[in-house]
Amino acid sequence: MESARQWIYSLLFFIFTIATLHVLDTLIISTRLTTNYQNIKLKKHPHLPLRFRSDGTFKILQVADMHYGNGMVTRCRDVLESEFNYCTDLNTTHFLRKMIQIEKPDLIVFTGDNIFGTSATDAAESLFEVFAPAIESGIPWAAVLGNHDQESTMNREELMSFISLMDYSVSQTFPSTKVNSDSKEQQPMTNIDGFGNYNLEVWGAPGSYLSNSSILNLYFLDSGDRAIVHGVRTYNWIRESQLSWLRGVSKRFQGQWKYDDQSMDISPLPVMHPALAFFHIPIPEIRQGPIKDIVGTYREYVACSSINSGVLKTFISMGDVKAVFIGHDHTNDFCGNLEGIWFCYGGGFGYHGYGVAGWPRRARVIQGELGKGKEAWMGVGKIRTWKRLDDGVLTKFDEQVLWDIHSLR
């Protein structure tokens, strides 16, 4: 009798154990181990193609050197003593939101050192935070890397791949190329130095005869991080494989423009598409000079590579690049002319990056403007730029025209 009772107790305990495990599996374990297809998050894509507005403008907000760390626990550098106790990465975030609200750009471009690797415990988390205002706005945005981004938990290829998959990002890890001359299908071109070399096309205004044509090209280049040359540490440089790709893209679009020009009984048209370039580390020619017609502050020594790889020479030979936008040297915010091409610093944007106490963080805005025909918008007629300070009222200053088709400046 006693053994029968023990057997029943053992059976009940076994049933209870099995039931408990089943409940745990159903309510907790399975929900974590299985894929819930309803919760899969797909990338939110911006409305493309990029194009000029119906008022004939296309506006770009350049954000240079955010140097984002871990958000509210990362302190500011080089601010007034009265500001230090309540200043964190969130000041950078707030500045970006204000710039987006006041300028309402068509594209936001981040020109490197987006995160400050040594201060970012988790690169992915910092990337989500640093680009959050751009993502929340739903505005297309693009990024290149600086020399500090990869110092956290991702290498440069992983960073650009991650950035390219974020909501509303139009960034690319590698440039795209057609599978063959007759195909519209494209594949990444991986036999090129660096990560984050790509171009974006901006189409004409809706309703104009150029509404289905690319009329402004935006080139993005990876200027690298650090390198050792003859045993000496220096900054990296844009390599020949990148310049070769760039020359090919430029030549293709110049040919397309000539074809469009011949097929249209409308004049006058520019000889070629104008283009703008974006990368992080300045080229040696800026330091060597002579750089002319400086507008803005030239405060610090230009930190660049010891290697001159011929970037300026390439831009001159291409003929389409009218202005180049860079970062890296936070307390330089000037535009200067080198052999007919403007090189413009964004100025330090982020509060965790070095600066000068009492010298407000700043951002640059670039605006393309279409020429006006008798009845419709024409091609790009003017490129202008200005800056704004994070001084409480977002003071606008140093407005200038970089290129005007009528003066061929």
Contacts 24+ apart (CB under 8 A), 233-236: 234/305, 234/306, 234/307, 235/147, 235/281, 235/303, 235/304, 235/305, 235/306, 236/147, 236/281, 236/305
What is the layout of strands, in order, in the sheet containing 292-295?
50-51, 198-203, 214-220, 275-278, 321-326, 341-345, 335-338, 292-295
- Say if residue 357's pLDDT is above 50: yes
DSSP 8-class letter at 372: E
pTM value > 0.85: yes
In this predicted structure, what is the pLDDT of residue 124? 96
- Does residue 83 carry a pLDDT above 90? yes
215 by Cβ neighbours in 10 Å (0-12 / 13-18 / 19+) ranks as: buried
3-state per-residue secondary structure call for 83-140 = HHCCCEHHHHHHHHHHHHHHHCCCEEEEECCCECHHHCCCHHHHHHHHCHHHHHHCCC
For residues 182 and 117, the model is more confident at 117
pLDDT tens across 165-222, in order?
Answer: 999 999 999 998 754 445 466 788 888 999 999 999 999 999 888 999 999 999 999 9
pLDDT band at 259 (very low <50, low <70, confident <90, very high): very low
pLDDT digits (tens, 9 = 90+) for 322-342: 999 999 999 999 999 999 999
Cβ contact 68:115 at 8 Å = yes
